[in-house]
Amino acid sequence: MNHLIHSGPRVDRKLLTPCVSGESTRRGSGCAISCSKLAISTLLLFIAVLSVSRANAAAALLLEEPYGKLGAFMAQGHAAIYLSGVCAETPLVLRRCKAGESGVVISRYNGVAGYDWIAIPLIPYLYAVEKTDDVPLFANPKLAAFLRNQYRRKYLEAIAPDGPDGETPEGNWYELVGTSYDRTVYSYEIETTPEQDNALIHKLNSRPNRSHFKTVNRNCADFAREIINFYYPKAVRRSIIADAGMTTPKQIAKSLVKFNTRHPELDSSAFVIPQVPGSIQRSTKVRGVAESLLKTKKYVIPLAILQPYVAGGIALAYVSHGRFDPARNAMIMDSKRELQPRLASTERKALMSQLDELSANANLDGKTWRNEKIWRRLQADAEPSLDRAGSPVLQVRVGDEIVDVGVSRRNVLSPSGSPELSQELLEARLREELRRSAASKTSESDVISDWKLLQKVTPPAGGSR
């Protein structure tokens, strides 16, 4: 999605394309990205210096990890389509984008006002805010729900109106915005032309937009497959063997990666959009049907005992047709919407050690609420709100006082806030980014930027603010 990441020149596909079973990969100490720091630095310098707008637009498959209790049983996740040259006149009417607009995400949902598809601008779809400077540095369930509801009341009342007493409505409408609070997203882009975009706009605007959702053969991945195949006929397909005939998001991603590999003349890229750090449960790995059965103990153990031949067939289907790691070798989209290498293991350990030292020193300053457990309770009990500029804040109670804590890059250093609470928020974000399980989805540039913010609100050792 080079339009999203502000990069114009074509990037080395071997660095951006995940590994599919049977394909060779360049591996070094850890992953292909760390093979040559000099090569990566040169690549990023090229992107920064030569960044220009491309003549063509792009379509991208968004492969989204599953989350929550349902994700434990339905590990297929979600699929959506991002179109850089197409925008939304309304959530139900498409048009060509104007200068400065960043495109639209369109997907099929089950049980959202009876519509087959709904279109949402890119940044709100990912973060439930309209400006990237307002994306929270740290999100909890209350803040995510608040931002989604703010956006719904402003733009989605026709689709998800208030309840009888003005309360937030129930239903799946919340999936329309703020997806990056709940999920890690993998993006697979391929270039399109204005003529193709015009034809798609005409097709979707002219046909009835009524839902006939079916889990097996008319789900979100089927919609994504239809859109990609509209641009490039027969580019992607379902897997009868690996997914028992069901279209899954992971299979569409795997199929699109193979298509891009066969067509190097088409500009393409693949990268990770990380889940926003915070106290919201982390999403889990996306899987196909055979893979889910094979890797879920509650399914595979009874099946292996009662039907060993069936279990063996599922294992063979996965090994021969279902193996695909969307995270392998993928670059990371940072907060500036640029592709960056993931955080190296040695750097992660060094920064975690420094953060532990900083936190230990801070807890000696007499602030009895300054430790991780108390901070988690403070932010969990806080009420989300907006400051005068419309940026998100958490209203935290400290004793008898209510303190507004800016949670975005725009207001986290606000002079009217609390440096101590801002420090706690930034420490919490960094700890999430530096967790071993999160490091592969964290960019170096974001960690460096967050560390600099933390230094601005941290008093020198032995000193005071």
Between 207 and 37, the more confident residue is 207
Asked whether residue 74 carries a pLDDT value surpassing 70, the answer given is no
Residues of the chain above pLDDT 90, percent: 54
Parallel, antiparallel or unpaired: strands 268-273 and 331-333: parallel
What is the pTM (predicted TM-score) of this model?
Answer: 0.83
Q: Using one digit for the tens of pLDDT, what is the confidence trace for 312-364? A: 454 455 555 556 788 877 899 998 889 999 888 899 999 999 988 887 776 65
**pLDDT for the residue 104:** 97
Q: Using one digit for the tens of pLDDT, what is the confidence trace for 174-199? A: 999 999 999 999 999 999 999 999 99
**pLDDT for the residue 8:** 36
Write down the mean pLDDT value for the chain: 81
Q: Using one digit for the tens of pLDDT, what is the confidence trace for 363-378? A: 655 454 456 777 888 8
Q: Using one digit for the tens of pLDDT, what is the confidence trace for 371-425? A: 677 788 889 999 999 999 999 999 998 888 899 999 999 999 998 888 889 999 9
**pLDDT for the residue 51:** 36
